[in-house]
C-alpha cells in the first residue's frame, strides 16, 4: 500500500462517481461475491458431484438436498422468525403424498386404481379425493400450495392467539403426530404404514434408469439453488429485517403498528411451501413416501441439521442438513444403533456451546474483517449476527 | 415529518381490573394538544396500567379518545396506526439490528407489501431527520444493543418520531440517566412537543419541575390531583400520599420514591 492510494481497496471498486447518493445498499463488490457464491455452488452441484460420485451416492445426495430444502425453510421460520417448528414433516408429507398420488395414478393399470388399493381390495373405485391428483396440472401446484394453505390456516389460528415459544414447538410437533396417525388409520386410501411405494415412473421417465435418476438429481439441485436465491432476497428485504425484529421483540413491533401475527405467518407459510416442494422432489429421488418419513422423528431431524449448521444464516441450514444426513447414513452403516445417541449428543453440544451453529465459527473469523465496512455503510449484515443462546425463543 | 394536526387525549372514567383487583378505578383526564403532561404517583397507583389501557395492551372500560378516534376496543397495532406511540420502562429496541434498521422498521408500518419485499436503497428522509433529532447519526450503523442506556431511550423516542406518533406515551424515559442525559432528554421532549402531545410517567421530581407543563397525580387507581407543578406540589393530599403527612408547600414531593 502506497501513499498514493486514495481509498481503501474495499471501496475502490465501488467508485460511485456522482458521490451524491450514499451507497446505502451493499454495493457492487457484495453483489459480485454473491454471484460468485452461487456460481461456485452450481459448479459443485452440477459438475463436481456428478463426476466424483457414483450413481448410488448421487441419489443419496439428491435425498440430502431435499432435506436441505426443508432446512432452508426452517432457517427462515426458526432462525429468522423465532418459530421453532418441530412439525415440518407435515408439510414435507403433504408435498410428498401429493406427488406420489399423482405418480401412482399415472402408473396405474387399466382400472385406474393404484396397486395397493387393489391389494387391500376394499374399494371398487378410486376415492373422490384422489381423483384431482390424476391431473399433473392439479397435483404439481398442489405439492406446494397444499402445504401453504394448511400452514396459513394453522398459522392464522395459532399466531393470532399469540401461541409461541415452546408452546408453538409442541403444537407443531403434535400436528406431525396427528398426521401420521391419520395416514396409518386410513390404510385403504393412503397405503397406511407402508405409505405409497414402488413409484417407478416420473412423467413418462423410468426412474430405474440411472440417466433419469441423474435428471431428478439435477432438478433437485436446481430447485435448491433457486430456493436459496429466493431466501437470500427475503432475508435482505425490509420484510426480512422486520421478521428479525418480531423474533427479538414481538410486543415492541406491535406497538410500532405492525401485526406480528401476519409477519410470522408469511415466514411460516413460505417455510411450509419449501417443505412441500422438498417432499414432492423426494418422491422421485427415493421412490417412496411413508408415515415413517414425515413423523415426529424426521421432523426433529430436520431441525437438528439447521441447528448444527447455523439457523440464522443463509447457508448454515443447507450445509448442516446435508452434513447431518450424510453422517447419519455413513455412521449408521458403520455403527448401527449408536447414531441416534450421537445425533442427540451433537444437538445438545451445539445448542449448549455453539448456539449459532457451525456458521458462527465462520462468522467469528470474518467479523473483524467484514463488519467495519458494513458499519460505515450503515447496515448490519444480517447473516453474520450473534444468535441468542436460548434454545426456544422467549415468549 | 410530524402529524398534520395536533390532537389532545381525552380519558373518561377508565377502569381496569385484574381478577377482581381494580388497578385503574375510574380515571378521567384531559391532555390538551401540545401539552407535556407528567403522570406521577406512588408504585401501584396505576400509571403504567393506564398507559397500557390507552395503547390497547389491557382491556378497559370507559372511553379514551385521541382526536376523533375512540381507542378502547381496538387491537394494539391499530391504535398505534392512529398515531399513538409508547416506550417502556425497560428499553425495547431491537438489539441485534442497527440504529438505522430500528428506525427504518419503526417508519414502515404503512409500507406496502411490494416495498417490504425489496431492499432498502437509501435512508428515508424521516429516518435521517430523526437520527439528527435524537443525536445518534454517528451511531447509525451500530447495533442498538451496543448503545448506552440513555441512547437506547433516545432511540426509542426517535422510533416514535419516525412512526409519526402524534401522542407520545413515555414510561420513565430518564430512569437511570445521568444529569447531562436528563437535560438532553428534556430538551428533546420540548422539541418534539412542538407538534405532538406528550405524556410522561416519571418519578424524577427534579426532571418534572423543569419540564412538565402540567401534572396529574394518580393514587390507588384514581386521580388525586391535577394542575401545574406548583399547584400539585402545594396540594396537601399529594404531600400526604408521598410523605405520609401534610407538610409545608414547596418542600414536597421530593426525590424519587423507590
B174: nearest Cα among B206, B144, B197:
B206
The residue length of chain B stands at: 258
Above 50 in pLDDT, residue A256?
Answer: yes
Q: What is the pLDDT of residues A98-123, one digit of tens each?
A: 999 999 999 887 778 888 888 776 77
Q: Are the beta carbons of A258 and B109 separated by less than 8 Å?
A: yes
Q: Are the beta carbons of A241 and B76 separated by less than 8 Å?
A: no
3-state percent breakdown (helix, strand, coil) of chain B, nearest 5:
35, 25, 40
Confidence (pLDDT) at B255: 45
- The answer for residues whose C-beta is within 8 angstroms of residue A313's C-beta and 6 or more apart is A75, A79, A356, A357, A359, A363, A383, A384
Q: Reduced to 3 states, what is the DSSP secondary structure of residue B12? A: strand
**Beta strand segments in chain A, E:** 201-202, 205-206
**Closest chain B C-alpha to A354 CA, distance in angstroms:** 18
Full-model pTM: 0.83
Confidence (pLDDT) at B256: 45
What would the DSSP string read from start to end of A74-101? HIIIIIIT----S-HHHHHHHHHHHHHH
ipTM over 0.85: no
B57: nearest Cα among A10, A310, A252:
A252
Work out the average pLDDT over A337-351.
86
Confidence (pLDDT) at A262: 93
Confidence (pLDDT) at A286: 94
Q: Are the beta carbons of B96 and A244 separated by less than 8 Å?
A: yes
Burial state string for A92-122 with b = 16 or more CB within 10 A and e = fewer than 16: bbbbbbbbbbbbbbbebeeeebbebbeeeee
Top-ranked range on mean pLDDT: pick from A86-95, A242-251, A254-263, B126-135: A86-95
Q: What is the pLDDT of residues B41-65, one digit of tens each?
A: 888 889 999 999 999 999 999 999 9
What's the pLDDT band for A378 if we cut at 50, 70, 90?
Answer: low
Nearest Cα residue in chain B from A259: B77
The verdict on A296 touching B (C-beta cutoff 8 Å) is no
Is the distance from CB of A82 to CB of A246 less than 8 angstroms? yes
Taking every pair of Cα atoms in chain B, the longest distance, rounded to a whole number of angstroms, is 63
Confidence (pLDDT) at B249: 45
The verdict on A255 touching B (C-beta cutoff 8 Å) is yes
Nearest Cα residue in chain A from B158: A256
Q: What percent of chain B has pLDDT over 90?
A: 53
* Mean per-residue pLDDT over chain A, rounded: 84
Which is it for strands B214-219 and B21-31: parallel, antiparallel or unpaired?
unpaired
**Minimal Cβ distance to A256: which of B109, B119, B121:** B109
Alpha-carbon gap, residue A158 to A168, rounded angstroms: 8
Above 70 in pLDDT, residue A357?
Answer: yes
Cα dihedral sign, A161-A166-A167-A169: positive
**Minimal Cβ distance to B122: which of A24, A244, A255:** A24
- The answer for residues whose C-beta is within 8 angstroms of residue A208's C-beta and 6 or more apart is A200
Confidence (pLDDT) at A374: 56
Confidence (pLDDT) at B102: 93
**Closest chain B C-alpha to A360 CA, distance in angstroms:** 15
Place of cell 448442516: A320
What's the pLDDT band for A371 if we cut at 50, 70, 90?
Answer: low
Quick one: DSSP state of residue A14? -
A132: nearest Cα among A116, A119, A146, A149:
A146
Confidence (pLDDT) at A365: 76
Q: Reduced to 3 states, what is the DSSP secondary structure of residue B24? A: strand
Strands of B69-70's sheet, edge to edge?
B21-31, B9-18, B61-66, B69-70
Compute CA distances B98 → A139, A194, B125, B137, whole Å: 44, 52, 17, 12
| Least trusted range by pLDDT, from A35-49, A51-65, A152-166, B119-133 | B119-133
Q: Which residues of B touch A34 (CB under 8 A)?
A: none
Above 80 in pLDDT, residue A355?
Answer: yes
Above 70 in pLDDT, residue B250?
Answer: no
Q: Reduced to 3 states, what is the DSSP secondary structure of residue B134? A: coil
Q: What CATH number is given for B8-83+166-243 in this structure?
A: 3.40.50.300
Is the distance from CB of B87 to CB of B170 less than 8 angstroms? yes
Alpha-carbon gap, residue B117 to A242, rounded angstroms: 11
Confidence (pLDDT) at B113: 79
**Minimal Cβ distance to A380: which of B111, B143, B163:** B143
Place of cell 431428478: A216
Quick one: DSSP state of residue B1? -
**Closest chain A C-alpha to B100 CA, distance in angstroms:** 7
What's the pLDDT band for A317 if we cut at 50, 70, 90?
Answer: very high
Alpha-carbon gap, residue B250 to A207, rounded angstroms: 91
Place of cell 418534572: B208
At residue B200, what are phi and psi to the nearest 5 degrees?
-125, 125
Q: What is the pLDDT of residues B152-203, one digit of tens each?
A: 999 999 999 998 899 999 999 998 888 989 999 999 999 888 889 999 999 8
Q: List beta partners, residue B18.
A: B21
Is the distance from CB of B202 to CB of B38 less than 8 angstroms? yes
Q: Which residues of B touch A252 (CB under 8 A)?
A: 88, 92-94
What's the pLDDT band for A91 if we cut at 50, 70, 90?
Answer: very high
Confidence (pLDDT) at A2: 36
Q: Are the beta carbons of B104 and A238 separated by less than 8 Å?
A: yes
Q: Which of A160, A236, A252 to mutate to test the interface with B (most CBs of B within 10 A)?
A: A252
Q: Which residues of B touch A22 (CB under 8 A)?
A: 122-123
At residue B27, what are phi and psi to the nearest 5 degrees?
-85, 130
- The answer for residues whose C-beta is within 8 angstroms of residue A243's C-beta and 6 or more apart is A76, A80, A81, A235, A263, A264, A266, A267
Q: What is the pLDDT of residues A265-315, one digit of tens each?
A: 999 999 999 999 999 999 999 999 999 999 999 999 999 999 999 998 999
Work out the average pLDDT over A158-186.
92
Above 60 in pLDDT, residue B2?
Answer: no
Q: Are the beta carbons of B80 and A239 separated by less than 8 Å?
A: no
Q: What is the pLDDT of residues A193-246, one digit of tens each?
A: 999 998 988 998 988 888 999 999 999 999 999 999 999 999 999 999 999 999
The three three-digit cell numbers of residue B192, written as one number:
418534539
Nearest Cα residue in chain A from B77: A257
Which is it for strands B222-227 and B214-219: parallel, antiparallel or unpaired?
antiparallel
Is the distance from CB of B154 to CB of B136 less than 8 angstroms? yes
* Side-chain-facing half-sphere of B2: CA atoms under 13 Å: 15
* Domain ranges within chain B, ordered by starting residue: 8-83+166-243, 93-164
Amino acid at each position: 500500500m502506497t501513499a498514493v492510494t486514495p481509498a481503501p481497496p474495499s471501496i475502490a471498486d465501488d467508485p460511485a462517481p456522482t458521490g451524491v447518493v450514499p451507497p446505502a445498499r451493499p454495493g457492487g463488490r457484495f453483489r459480485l461475491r454473491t454471484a460468485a457464491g452461487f456460481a461456485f455452488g452450481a459448479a459443485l452441484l452440477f459438475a463436481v458431484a456428478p463426476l466424483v460420485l457414483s450413481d448410488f451416492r448421487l441419489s443419496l445426495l439428491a435425498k440430502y438436498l431435499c432435506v436441505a430444502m426443508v432446512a432452508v425453510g426452517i432457517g427462515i421460520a426458526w432462525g429468522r422468525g423465532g418459530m421453532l417448528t418441530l412439525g415440518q414433516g407435515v408439510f414435507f408429507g403433504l408435498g410428498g403424498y401429493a406427488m406420489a398420488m399423482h405418480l401412482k395414478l399415472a402408473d396405474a393399470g387399466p382400472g385406474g386404481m393404484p396397486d395397493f388399493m387393489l391389494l387391500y381390495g376394499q374399494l371398487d373405485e378410486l376415492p373422490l379425493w384422489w381423483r384431482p391428483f390424476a391431473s399433473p396440472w392439479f397435483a404439481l401446484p398442489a405439492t406446494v400450495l397444499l402445504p401453504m394453505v394448511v400452514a396459513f390456516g394453522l398459522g392464522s389460528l395459532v399466531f393470532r392467539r399469540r401461541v409461541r415459544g415452546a408452546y408453538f414447538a409442541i403444537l407443531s410437533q403434535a400436528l406431525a403426530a396427528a398426521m401420521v396417525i391419520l395416514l396409518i388409520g386410513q390404510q385403504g386410501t393412503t397405503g397406511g404404514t407402508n405409505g405409497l411405494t414402488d413409484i417407478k415412473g416420473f412423467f413418462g421417465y423410468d426412474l430405474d434408469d440411472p440417466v433419469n435418476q441423474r435428471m431428478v438429481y439435477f432438478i433437485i439441485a436446481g430447485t435448491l439453488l433457486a430456493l436459496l436465491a429466493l431466501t437470500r432476497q427475503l432475508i435482505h428485504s425490509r420484510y426480512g429485517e422486520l421478521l428479525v425484529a418480531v423474533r427479538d421483540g414481538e410486543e415492541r413491533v406491535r406497538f410500532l403498528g405492525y401485526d406480528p401475527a401476519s409477519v410470522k405467518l408469511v415466514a411460516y407459510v413460505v417455510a411450509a411451501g419449501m417443505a412441500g416442494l422438498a417432499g414432492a422432489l423426494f418422491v422421485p429421488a427415493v421412490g417412496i413416501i411413508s408415515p415413517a418419513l414425515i413423523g415426529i422423528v424426521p421432523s426433529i431431524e430436520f431441525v437438528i441439521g439447521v441447528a448444527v449448521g447455523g439457523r440464522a444464516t443463509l447457508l448454515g441450514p443447507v450445509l448442516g442438513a446435508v452434513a447431518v444426513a450424510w453422517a447419519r447414513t455413513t455412521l449408521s452403516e458403520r455403527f448401527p444403533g449408536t447414531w441416534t445417541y450421537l445425533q442427540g449428543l451433537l444437538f445438545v453440544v451445539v445448542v449448549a456451546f455453539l448456539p449459532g451453529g457451525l456458521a458462527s465459527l465462520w462468522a467469528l473469523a470474518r467479523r473483524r474483517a467484514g463488519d467495519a465496512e458494513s458499519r460505515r455503510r450503515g447496515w448490519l449484515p444480517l447473516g453474520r449476527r450473534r444468535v441468542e443462546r436460548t434454545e426456544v425463543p422467549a415468549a | 415529518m410530524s402529524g398534520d394536526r395536533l390532537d389532545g387525549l381525552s380519558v373518561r372514567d377508565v377502569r381496569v381490573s385484574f381478577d377482581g383487583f381494580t388497578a385503574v378505578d375510574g380515571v378521567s383526564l384531559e391532555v390538551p394538544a401540545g401539552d407535556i403532561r407528567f403522570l406521577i404517583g406512588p408504585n401501584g397507583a396505576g400509571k403504567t396500567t393506564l398507559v397500557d389501557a390507552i395503547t390497547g395492551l389491557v382491556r378497559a372500560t370507559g372511553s379514551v379518545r385521541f382526536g376523533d378516534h375512540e381507542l378502547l376496543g381496538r387491537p394494539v397495532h391499530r391504535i398505534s396506526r392512529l398515531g399513538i406511540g409508547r416506550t417502556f420502562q425497560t428499553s425495547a429496541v431491537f438489539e441485534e439490528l442497527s440504529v438505522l434498521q430500528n428506525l427504518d422498521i419503526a417508519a414502515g408500518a404503512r409500507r406496502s407489501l411490494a416495498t417490504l419485499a425489496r431492499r432498502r436503497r437509501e435512508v428515508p428522509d424521516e429516518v435521517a431527520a430523526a437520527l439528527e433529532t435524537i443525536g445518534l447519526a454517528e451511531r447509525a450503523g451500530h447495533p442498538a444493543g451496543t448503545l448506552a442506556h440513555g441512547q437506547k431511550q433516545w432511540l426509542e423516542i426517535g422510533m416514535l418520531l419516525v412512526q409519526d406518533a402524534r401522542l407520545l406515551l413515555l414510561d420513565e424515559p430518564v430512569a437511570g440517566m445521568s444529569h447531562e442525559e436528563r437535560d438532553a432528554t428534556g430538551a428533546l421532549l420540548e422539541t418534539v412537543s412542538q407538534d405532538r402531545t406528550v405524556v410522561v410517567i416519571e418519578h424524577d421530581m427534579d426532571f418534572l419541575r423543569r419540564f412538565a407543563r402540567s401534572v396529574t397525580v394518580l393514587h390507588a387507581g384514581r386521580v388525586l390531583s391535577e394542575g401545574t407543578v406548583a399547584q400539585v406540589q402545594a396540594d396537601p393530599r399529594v404531600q400526604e400520599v408521598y410523605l405520609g403527612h401534610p407538610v409545608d408547600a414547596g418542600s414536597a414531593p421530593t426525590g424519587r420514591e423507590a
